[in-house]
Amino acid sequence: MKDLEGKTAFITGGASGIGLAIARACAGAGMQVVIADLRQDHLDDAVAELTADGIKVHPIRLDVSDRKAMAVAADEAERVFGKVQLLCNNAGINIIRPITEATFEDFDWLFNVNLGGVVNGMMTFVPRMLAYGQGGHIVNTSSVAGILTGPGTAIYSATKFAIRGLSEAARYDLIPHGIGVSVLCPGTVSTRLYESEDNRQPQYLGQVTDTVKAQRAGTGELFRRVLPLGMDARKVGEMTLQAVRNNAFYIMTHVEVETDIRESYEEMLAALPDTTPNPEVLKLEAGRRQKKYDILKLAKDL
């Protein structure tokens, strides 16, 4: 989507971190910007910060896991600015917890916010984009944890792998309609992700024992130590906007993960059986690939 001037962007998790950085980049490109966030205090801070820099945005308080609220927010965005042609499903939370210590509430919380937020955003805005008939672009925030895993990342990685898979498949569905899709896979970025536990809704608290309190406090402390060392979120915002302009699918922020990615895929390739391929199955797979290639040829015009 090369021509951004005057178009409207709707950004979830838009009041801080990567979302706020994307909002800045979009505004700098002449777009009308809606920032949606769970935290009213973060929205107030973001509006004040952007206003001081001469940037006007429209804030909406939104729980992305609430489907009805997402539809209401979409209606408000259209009422204020008109058609939304850039959707950034960026809102997300994180915990570091081994599967041996995880609770059902941990799973429900991360899946409903991280994955559910993306699903709700796409299911709300894609029909509207199709109805506009003017194309558009969607950016879904996954993570390097949606490509790689490690100790304590089971729940978070499960949500981020799902976002990456959803985005890749949806790309082929949407390109013929003039809608591009990008998946943002950031590494460590200086954000307020350490405040995730502060945003845990009551229904996801579960039984709060002393052990659980210690686990949750430990996650926050880890993020407080590590995240300030990360990449400046504004750089990620600019990278994201460039990917939208170029209709690039992957937005990778950190070259430092190259070895891990190679090792992961080499392990998969090494696990393929040493057998003679079935010619009929090869034919089916070739047809599937060709269908993808044909769709991707259309992407160069977006």
Confidence of residue 222 (pLDDT cuts 50, 70, 90): low
Cα–Cα distance measured from residue 165 to residue 169, given in angstroms and rounded to the nearest whole number? 6
The answer, yes or no, to whether residue 229 has pLDDT greater than 70, is yes
Three-state DSSP class for residue 169: helix
Domains and CATH numbers, the chain: 8-299 (3.40.50.720)
pLDDT tens by residue, 164-206: 999 999 999 999 999 999 999 999 898 877 677 888 888 888 7
Asked whether the predicted pLDDT for residue 210 surpasses 70, the reply is no
How far apart CA 1 and CA 238 sit, in angstroms, is 15
Q: For 21-41, what is each residue's pLDDT tens digit?
A: 999 999 999 999 999 999 999
- Count the Cβ atoms, other than its own, within 10 Å of residue 223: 22
Handedness of CA 283, 284, 285, 287 (dihedral sign): positive
DSSP 3-state assignment of 176?
Answer: helix
Instruction: Fill in the DSSP letter of residue 114.
Output: I
DSSP-based three-state secondary structure for 150: coil
Least confident of 13-22, 204-213, 253-262: 204-213
- Residues with a known catalytic role: 156
| Residues 253 and 245 sit within 8 Å (Cβ to Cβ) | no
pTM: 0.92
Rounded CA separation 301/223 (Å): 41
Across 77-86, 221-230, 241-250, least confident range: 221-230
Q: Which amino acid is at 128?
A: R
What beta strand segments (E) does 96-169 contain? 136-141
**pLDDT of 79:** 98
Structural tokens at position 30: 């002449």
